[in-house]
Structure 1
Amino acid sequence: MKFDSIKSRLVLMTLVCVIGMGVLVVSQHYFTQRLIGLHQQRDVLLRMGQDLLQMRRHEKDFLLRHETVYYDKFLERSYEFKGRLTTLVPLFNEYRLPVADVESLSSSMEAYSGTFRQVVSLQERIGLTQNDGLRARITELENTLDEGQLAQDSQASELLTNIQLATRNYQINQEGVYARQMMTLSERLVAENGGTALLNGTLVQYREALLQLVDAFTTYGVTHNEGLRGEFRQSAHNVETQLRGVDAALQPMIEQQEAKVRIYSLSIAALTSVVLILVLIKSFATFHRAFVNFLTFFYRCKRQYQMIDTRKLGFAELKSLAELANEMVESKRDIEARLASVEAELANKKAS
């Protein structure tokens, strides 16, 4: 198709606009969908951060109140966290991001949940309340000793009272001085009051229960940074650190996609504008040249038989007008030639 007419030039400019806008819309839609997907995954990461904060909250509630309902809430949040984590793997594969970060985060989450499960189990062994676990067993043995032969011996009864006081202090403060006091006094109580086999068996069971309590608290962690509690806190910090690492790996991809949107949009708009401007300039130059030719034609046509060169006009519509004008000039010249011939004949007749 030759674009040598005004109509074809208008069609060309329309096509350029439509194609440019179409490509721009398609590219915008494509990159917008990718950005939406990335931002959705970013939102998933934010929700995972909220899940982790809730898990830390339930963890502290359990450590403070020793109620298993908080462990159940912790498990519920951990399942949601793991479910959201699995949705990140396809995204990381698609954008060739380090999937090892997601796998490492998953492993850390498993370690975090597993350590907390051990903490809960150990706390259940110690006793969630005074009526559970080792606490209940120690209280039961103390009541048995209070109601037995030791009640008749004031010195033994006082010694048992001191052990009970040290035991309560140890359960509250977990200080080593109370643990040593418990062991020393209980050993002395067994040595001095093991008269009968029944009493001796009860005292041995009592001392073993105290030893188990000390061992359980030592395993549990005397402070927040020791024992299972220390491992638990460290695993929680690992999850937080790796979650920030996953978020840091995703952020550059979002910025890269946003940069692509800007680059492609500006490139398409610039290319469309350049093509339109070139077509307009060429059309204007062609029209201006044709206009000058027509002016020159009409100016000279008064004095001479000036013909228009149709090859210099460019547009087909103007060429058609030029051909009509040339025909008009030819007709005028023929008419004037015939008129001159007739006048010459008349002049000859008058002369004769």
Structure 2
Amino acid sequence: MLLLVGSQIYYTQKLVDLNEKNKSLLRLGQDFLQLRRHEKDFLLRLDLKYTDKFTHQAKRFLTQLTAVQALDKQSQQNQQIFDELFNSFPLYQQQFVSLVETRIAMGLDENRGYQGGFRQAAHALEAKLSEAEFLNMYQLLLQIRRAEKDFLLRKDLKYVNKERALYSTLIQRIEAQSPFQYSQLMPLLSKYQHEFMQLVDAYRYVGLNHNTGLQGNFRDQAHLVEQNFVNLDHHLQQQVTAAQRRVEITSVMIMLSTTATLIVLLVRSFLTLQRAFNNFGMFFYRCKREYKHMDEKSVGFSEFKYLATIANEMIDSRRKIEQELRAAQDEITRLRLGM
């Protein structure tokens, strides 16, 4: 019974530890989901406050990850997954920081970054063309702006090629103007084109959709981190199942061993008790005819040994009394014969 209680205490504590690891892993997964939320909030709203939240959450995540790893030093397989997490998560964080920096350079709204630069140049160029009443060139610039907005809306490079063709045509028309008009218009158009192409290159680097470029890379990296969480949870569930199975097997084995031991003890006690009663029965049977001591060693229980000792003393006392009575009778007989 002590073994059974001890094993239950040991395995219960082990299951409690595994349950704590499972809770810690769930909290860690929630922290990572919160990171993904801040990441998507930034991509959707382009607000830098979400990058600050992301940075704060990332520090908390790494602290929690270190604590969870310290709780699970026994499992070598789990330690390998933790090592992969410590390698993959900083890369995911670094790629997100690069994405944020690139998005800042592109412009978080239409008035900043590359967008703000080519937009200001386009408005200035539109004003110059409208002022000079260059209607053909103004119409061509509107077509360029249309191709630009189509690209920004659909992220399709065919609109960039279309914009370049229109840009070349507009250059030719500006070059055909007077040197004064050329000096007024060409710097604005060049600035517009330079800023727009920088924005296009930035979009290529970031990714024209969520599966390409930097967006695709850090998205794959995030999925890798999530897969490591899935692997950790799978291994932890296997450990819990194995621990529960060991508890069941150990409990059954201890119960069977205890039952067998109790059966053996009961059988032996029954046989000893039966032998003791047989000895007492034989003792009282012999007491009718002869005075023989009971063998105390043949009695199994200490209480019966005490009874056997008292019975032997009783036999000795009766034998002594009978001897004294016999001696007294002999003395009386001699006295009668002497008279």
Range class of TM-score, shorter chain: 0.7 to 0.9
Residues 312-321 or 120-129, more deviating: 312-321
- Determine if contact 1:170/1:178 at 8 Å carries over to the other structure: yes
Deviations along 1:85-115, one digit per CA (max 9) or x if unpaired, are 2224334542333533222222211121112
Aligned to 2:229: 243
- 1:62 is matched with 42
SS at match of 1:70: helix
Q: Which residue of 2 aligns with 1:6?
A: none
Is 1:137 the counterpart of 2:120 in the alignment? no
Partner of 1:297: 283
Whether the 8 Å CA contact 1:190–1:204 is kept in 2: the answer is no
Cα distance between partner residues in 2 of 1:32 and 1:75: 39
Q: Over residues 256-287 of structure 1, what are the superposed CA-to-partner deviations in whole Å (9 max), with x where a residue is unaligned? A: 33333334444444444544444444333323
Letter in 1 for 2:317: S
Residue of structure 1 in register with 2:106 after alignment: 126
Q: Is the 8 A contact 2:122 2:188 kept in 1?
A: no
1:168 matched residue in structure 2: 149
Quick check: 75-84 or 25-34, which moved more? 25-34
Map Cα deviations across residues 300-326 of structure 1 (whole Å, 9 max, x no partner): 423443432222113333223222212
| 5+ long unaligned stretches in structure 2 | 176-180
Structure 1 unaligned regions, length at least 5: 1-19
Q: Which of 164, 171, 178 pairs up with 1:190?
A: 171
Give the Cα separation in 1 of the matches to 2:304 and 2:100: 94
What residue in structure 2 maps to residue 147 of structure 1?
A: 127
Task: Give aligned-pair identity as a percent.
Answer: 35
Cα deviation 1:95-149 (Å, max 9, x = unaligned): 3335332222222111211122222222222221112211111221122112224
* Equivalences for residues 109-120 of structure 1 within 5 A: 109-120=89-100
Q: Is the 8 A contact 2:118 2:193 kept in 1?
A: no
Q: Which residue in 2 is equivalent to 1:73?
A: 53
The match for 1:5 is: none
- Partner residue, 1:35: 15
Q: Name the structure 2 match of 1:85.
A: 65
Which residue does the alignment assign to 2:178?
Answer: none
Tell me the TM-score normalised to structure 1 length.
0.83
- Give the deviation of 1:205 after TM superposition: 0.7
Specify the code of the residue in structure 1 equivalent to 2:96.
Answer: F
Q: Secondary structure at the match of 2:77?
A: coil
What is the number of equivalent residue pairs in this alignment? 332
Deviation at 1:171, TM superposition (A): 1.0
Pairwise CA RMSD:
2.8
Which position in structure 2 is the counterpart of 1:14?
Answer: none
CA–CA distance in structure 2, aligned partners of residues 277 and 73 of structure 1 = 68
What amino acid does structure 1 have at the position aligned with 2:42?
F
In structure 2, the residue corresponding to 1:213 is in which secondary structure?
helix
The higher-RCO structure (CA 8 Å, 6+ apart) is 1
Q: Deviation per CA, 1:20-67, whole angstroms, max 9, x where unpaired?
A: 42x444444333333322322222222222223222233222222222
